[in-house]
Amino acid sequence: MSYPDIALGLILLGLSAYLLFGGADFGAGLWHLVSRRRADQKVIEHAMGPLWEANHVWLIFVMVMTWTAFPPVFADIMSEHWIPLSLAALGIVARGSAFVFAKDAPAAVYSWTFGISSVLTPYCMGAVAAVIATSGSSWLSVAGLYGGLLTTGLCAYLAAVYLIWDARRLGEDGPATRFRAYALVTGVAVGLLALPGALTLDVLSPLTVISAVAGVVSLGLLAARRYLAVRVTAGLAAATVLWGAAGLADLDLDAAAAHDSALRVVFFALGVGALILVPSMTWLFILFQRSPKEQTTAAG
């Protein structure tokens, strides 16, 4: 395996982490906009809590890896798709600001800003990803529209699946029931969108089949109320969509990659950073997944 192959694998791992964690945060914002019940919104706000900002570290990781390991690819993507990527960046800033301001100054404008930017951001990112994967021309093309809708749907689905467990952990049976209904409806909708779209755009691959199987299993687990296991299968269904799309991209890695000496420095720096980042993120996640009683005990 060459250095460019390793670099690409790391970028895909970072994108997968951003989809599974950051994507779920965007989906939570969508449900915060759709569900006007205060009980549901409280569960969403508690679930996002300290992790919503930290999840963007995976996006930063992907950007840094791409511009250092594949500078021509990064330059082409940024110059050709600067409008949707700028909208996505503005969405991230507006979303985060509205979430913080709403804590101290509850106002409808913050809630709407948070919800709309939570939809706009994954849509723009998904549109760009689909155009790159299919060698399309514009994020406003059919491929871009399909990628944007599919990515937004995947984020909403992941969020609903994750929020079921969070609501049950907080003892909120009503929101848990509603998030289960959202997950079932969204899962069916994403499946109906994904498979016909894959056939139309000729993006079929073995990973597409794995994603479809994992999606069906997830619906079965939701119906059987296996809320912890469905987190795994739902994540697999979403991640394999990303990996399948990446496999379609026509990239000449060796021609676009930085020199091996530069990549060795990148890998060394990445290893040092991982020694700090991975344990920190893992510990943060473990702390936040504890029940409120366990958190109070730990704090005391």
pLDDT at 194: 83
pLDDT at 213: 92
pLDDT at 208: 81
Architecture of domain 3-248: Up-down Bundle (1.20)
Domain residue limits, the chain? 3-248
pLDDT at 173: 86
Local confidence pLDDT in tens for the 300 residues of the chain = 788 889 999 999 999 999 998 899 999 999 999 887 889 888 888 887 656 667 888 899 999 999 999 999 999 999 999 999 999 999 999 988 888 887 777 778 888 899 999 999 999 999 999 898 888 878 888 889 999 999 999 999 999 999 998 898 888 889 999 999 999 999 999 988 887 777 776 666 788 888 889 999 999 999 999 988 999 999 999 998 888 877 777 677 777 888 889 999 999 998 998 888 888 878 877 777 665 555 555 544
pLDDT at 300: 47
pLDDT at 202: 67
DSSP string for the chain: --HHHHHHHHHHHHHHHIIIIIHHHHHHHHHHHH---HHHHHHHHHHHGGGTTGGGHHHHHHHHHHHHH-HHHHHHHHHHSHHHHHHHHHHHHHHHHHHHHHHHS--HHHHHHHHHHHHHHHHHHHHHHHHHHTT-S-TTSHHHHHHHHHHHHHHHHHHHHHHHHHHHHTT-HHHHHHHHHHHHHHHHHHHHHHHHHHHHTT---HHHHHHHHHHHHHHHHHHTT-TTHHHHHHHHHHHHHHHHHHHHS---HHHHSPPHHHHHHHHHHHHHHHHHHHHHHHHHHHHHHS-HHHHHHHH-
